[in-house]
């Protein structure tokens, strides 16, 4: 299940009284690209969507949020119904999609996803934000870049770091990599 987010982006832009040009300037992209994203004509990369969300004073998690179900005692979603977030497009894809494994609603303090990274895929540039991250490689291998350090991880290896450090990752292997990745607070 792949939700469309263009309408939500446009809603946040209008809510904050911003023009497409202003969003484009804050996010380092063109006004035309903002229009294409808002009309669900292109899927931005993870890093680009992060910059757009910051420009709109929100986070990626909120853009993909499900209806408020904060009153539920337990949130359960079957694997075949798990929301998927894809980034990039056929020409500029970064080979990553996220499968949400945590609910998204106001007041929920964690965000958890399974990052599915194709061989050679990864985040296209460094990001940094408030919070902390922890994860574990389920399958495959991962190179995790935090500031100037490179960490080579294999299935079963875990990691944790403060999110304000520049960070990105990539799959240097020949097999698909799957990583359980948890952020607090929700940032994308």
List, as one string, the DSSP characters of 75-138.
----GGG--EEE-S-TTT--SEEEEE-S---TT---EEEEEEE-TT-B-SS-B--SSEEEEEEE
CA distance to 25, 33, 44, 87, per residue, from 19 (Å): 10, 13, 19, 23
**pLDDT for 115:** 94
**pLDDT for 165:** 96
123 near 157, Cβ under 8 Å?
A: no
**pLDDT for 68:** 53
> How would you write the pLDDT of the chain (188 residues) with one tens digit per residue?
456 778 878 878 887 888 999 999 999 999 999 999 988 888 888 788 888 988 988 877 677 665 555 566 777 888 888 878 776 644 344 788 889 888 876 667 788 999 999 999 998 788 888 889 999 999 999 999 999 999 999 999 999 999 999 999 999 999 999 999 999 877 76
Residues 153 and 8: their CA atoms lie apart, in Å, by 35
**Rounded (10°) CA dihedral 136, 141, 146, 149:** 130
């Amino acid at each position: 299940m792949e939700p469309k987010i263009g309408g939500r982006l446009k809603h946040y832009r209008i809510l904050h009284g911003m023009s497409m040009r202003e969003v484009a300037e804050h996010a380092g992209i063109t006004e035309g690209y903002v229009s294409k994203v808002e009309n669900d004509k292109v899927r931005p990369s993870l890093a680009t969507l992060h910059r757009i969300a910051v420009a709109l004073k929100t986070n990626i998690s909120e853009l993909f949020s499900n209806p408020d179900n904060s009153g539920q005692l337990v949130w359960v979603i079957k694997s075949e119904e798990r929301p998927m977030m894809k980034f990039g497009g056929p020409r500029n894809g970064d080979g990553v999609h996220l499968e949400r494994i945590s609910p998204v609603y106001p007041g929920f303090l964690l965000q958890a996803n399974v990052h599915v990274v194709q061989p050679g895929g990864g985040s296209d540039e460094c990001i940094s934000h408030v919070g902390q991250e922890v994860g574990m490689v389920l399958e495959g291998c991962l190179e995790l870049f935090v500031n100037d350090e490179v960490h080579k991880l294999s299935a079963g290896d875990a990691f944790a770091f403060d999110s304000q450090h520049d960070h990105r990752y990539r799959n240097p292997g020949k097999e698909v990599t799957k990583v359980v990745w948890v952020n607090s607070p929700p940032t994308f």
